[in-house]
A and B are shown apart, each in its own frame.
Chain A
Amino acid sequence: MSKIITNNLSLWYGGFQALKKINLAFQEKRITSIIGPSGCGKSTLLRVFNRMNDLIDGVRIEGEVLIDSADILDGDFSDLVKLRKKVGMVFQRPNPFPLSVYENIIFGLKVHHLVEKSEREQIVRESLESVMLWNDLKDKLHRNALGLSLEQKQRLCIARAIAVEPDILLMDEPCSALDPQATLKIEGLMQRLKNDYTIVIVTHNMQQAARASDDAGFMLLGELIEFDRTVEMFTAPKDKRTEDYITGRYG
């Protein structure tokens, strides 16, 4: 079943068109990667799905983006809060808040008034367990999160995102600040998480896309060139430009 569908999605930053009539369908409970060279619009596309582009002045969007068949582009503010509860995001650089580990995780719960105070501890534990941090941090819950290692920080950010039980996780190059070892661990984590979440990951690391995703899209200069099963795309790309990119001829 398609979780996210875009119909003729175009986006402009002022006069610059960053996305050109994108038509896509992301499947539920799978990992979809979007690859492409820098500036191809892949992060912009990702940020359409939780409407983070709203923060930038002069952004204009046309077309449709359906999440669970509802168009997220026409909606007032309270819908935006709901949308972001449903669509979690993990950023390129781990950005835990300058608060304790515990406060980081319950941030979303507080914002959305989700659970009673008594249930918070349980959720903190579950969230940390699902990112395999519980054993490391169970005695350090009230330490400042800025003191963690980079990999732990990124895991914490994932835990923070899933604490509010979203449907979709957007990951914007989640491993580019991490070393290869930590990258593999985060990828392993993604495989576990896809049982519960629909994951969209933007990456410029082709090996990562090939290893970790089920479906893949290739973007170039704001256009979606090809979208297919990852295996298909990396073994038999249909478009010459895709082939050039994944064989390393540019990008």
Chain B
Amino acid sequence: MNASAIATIVPCWSCKGPVAARALFCSTCGAVQGPGSIDHFTRLGIQPTFDIDLEGLEKQYFGFQRRLHPDRFAAKSGKEKALSQAQATSLNEAYETLKDPLRRAAYLLNQLGHPVDLTACGTINDRELLMEQMEKREALADSTTAEQVAKLAMQAESEVIACQCHISAAINASNLEEAGHLTIRLKYLAKLAEEARAKKSRITRLP
């Protein structure tokens, strides 16, 4: 990270004087600045780790939105309105990415130089995972009573949590290869858990 000192000082669009490239507001004239391209963790002012405190994340998100949301700029000039919209959009993207364990894991691994392709379907390496998931899916499809579905939903939920713990351990041990596989596994587990939850509420809703 050879951040150049020269590049970190940029002219403020409003007063044209020097301002830190990552500043939210110009220290001289107070004008809101653009969101720039910083990573989601830095944007929300938290440490880049998988083990984040969700309450703390939300607190930071609310704190930044309080200052930067377009509602704070409704009576300002068009340029300031546009910049605040860009800032709020970046904050939303960062928050939405980091609050979801699956997206957070994928994002963090990408930042650490080990990208995971979540859109790709299972590769040969994941054959075992695919078989396992197919079996569980069938079990869910075959279950008919509320008790059966509730049991599967709970099982899926606890597997999701266990997988998250394993991802955390793998990342903390710098075992990114392993963390990548686990992240793909988490994607399937989360999907199954969601389907189980949906089926559970469908069944319990019936009169």
Q: Do A and B associate with each other?
A: no
